[in-house]
Chain A
């Protein structure tokens, strides 16, 4: 199965700062990668699919890039509502797998 490794585990930043999150796949998955945001007690929310396409109603400050084995989620300027856990998901090979998550916390 494909292992997705996210880094860093925790990112401590201040509002207004940019954030860069990484997701590395154990083998090539093309562009078959999605990013989701998860907050306590809430449903996970899809942000990005196909590595770089924003989902409906997702603000432009969120962007995704990468292909093959290296992927990045960027947040251009952190807003208060962006402090959460972010995870990646690959859908190139079965079984579907997820990264361990990156927690973006307020510094």
Chain B
């Protein structure tokens, strides 16, 4: 069964760091583009970052550029989102999602349940 499970969320002070994990099962991460999407309290979904299937391409929404980094551990079949210099506006539920094939510029066909990040002093 194809599944994504996020973890690593929590409460953190502004300016601190956090690393989110997205463990994949039922498929090989290296064959698919993978996205991070977030949803702030009471708001809609916002695309955050993407990594291509071959790890050659990484793209980020403007508000997290230079602060967030997507990476992957193929041996663990796990995707990561390293978040540095966190701001209160980064407070959200963070989802990882896969696309149906190699091309990351596509719809998201499998999502995780999300992990909650709260940035507060």
> Which residues in B have their C-beta under 8 angstroms from that of A99?
44
Q: Mark A66-107, 1 if CB is under 8 A from B, else 0.
A: 000000000000000000000101010011111111000000
Q: Total contacts A to B, CB within 8 angstroms?
A: 53
Is the pair A96, B47 in contact by a Cβ cutoff of 8 Å? Answer: yes
Q: Which among B44, B95, B108, B114 is the interface contact of A34 at CB below 8 angstroms?
A: B108
Q: Which among A46, A94, A98 is the interface contact of B45 at CB below 8 angstroms?
A: A98
Please tell me if A45 contacts chain B, counting CB pairs below 8 Å: yes
Is the pair B113, A95 in contact by a Cβ cutoff of 8 Å? Answer: no
User: How far, in angstroms, from A87 to B47 measured CA to CA in the complex?
Assistant: 13
Is the pair B47, A95 in contact by a Cβ cutoff of 8 Å? Answer: yes
Known interface pairs A43-B114, A44-B111; A87-B44 also in contact (CB < 8 Å) = yes
Kindly list the 5 A-B residue pairs having the minimum CB-CB distance in the complex, ordered from nearest. Answer: A34-B107, A98-B45, A100-B44, A44-B111, A43-B111
Extra A-B contacts (12), CB below 8 Å, given A32-B107, A49-B109: A34-B107, A41-B113, A42-B113, A43-B4, A44-B108, A44-B111, A46-B109, A91-B107, A96-B47, A97-B47, A98-B45, A99-B44
Chain B interface residues (CB < 8 Å from chain A)? 4, 35, 37, 44-47, 59, 61, 95, 97, 105-114
Chain A interface residues (CB < 8 Å from chain B)? 32, 34, 36, 41-46, 49, 55, 87, 89, 91, 94-101
